[in-house]
Amino acid sequence: MKVEARIFFIVAIFAVLMAGVYWVWAVVDTDFGGKPEPVGIVALILTGGLAFLAGSYMQFVARRIEPRPEDREDAEISDGAGELGFFSPGSYWPVSMAATAALAALALAFFHIWLLVIALVALLITIGGLVFEYHTGPSHQD
């Protein structure tokens, strides 16, 4: 996780530096009359803050777990071999989630509250279906 933390810290530093550059360009630009344009500056600063938050969390976690092969200089390719987890071979739940999210966006676009309520309920059902897709319940042995 140290590698990911470094990447997020680099993105945070870049975003804050670009906010400074953006501020200077906005002051020099004659369209704004010498006043900095605040929306882009705030967006870049908040982007840097969010990247810093994610990077500091990953650094926090990296100190508490044993180093992964990606974090060690002496690691071999074979150190990362093995089972990485279970990945679903095929599922229709993401398609239904996308459809219900699109329905919710459509309801918001036309401001139909009744359709938004239906879409949100359907979205919660599809999220539950995705989460519990492979849940078989407690095994009952006689």
Q: What pLDDT is stored for residue 84 in this prediction? A: 76
Q: How many CA atoms lie within 13 A of 72 on its CB side?
A: 12
Confidence of residue 30 (pLDDT cuts 50, 70, 90): low
**CA 119 to CA 113: how far, in whole Å?**
10
Q: Running DSSP on this structure, what letter comes out for residue 70?
A: G
Residue 40 falls in which region: left (phi positive, over 0), alpha (psi -120 to 50) or beta:
alpha
pLDDT > 90 in the chain, percent: 56
**CA 46 to CA 130: how far, in whole Å?**
32
- Comparing 8-12, 23-27, 31-35, 63-67, the range with the smallest average pLDDT is 31-35
| pLDDT one-digit tens code per residue, 118-132 | 999 999 999 999 999
pLDDT at 142 over 60: no
Q: What number is the average pLDDT over the span 4-13? A: 96
Whether 41 and 22 have beta carbons less than 8 Å apart is answered as yes
**CA 18 to CA 12: how far, in whole Å?**
10
Q: What pLDDT is stored for residue 32 in this prediction? A: 62
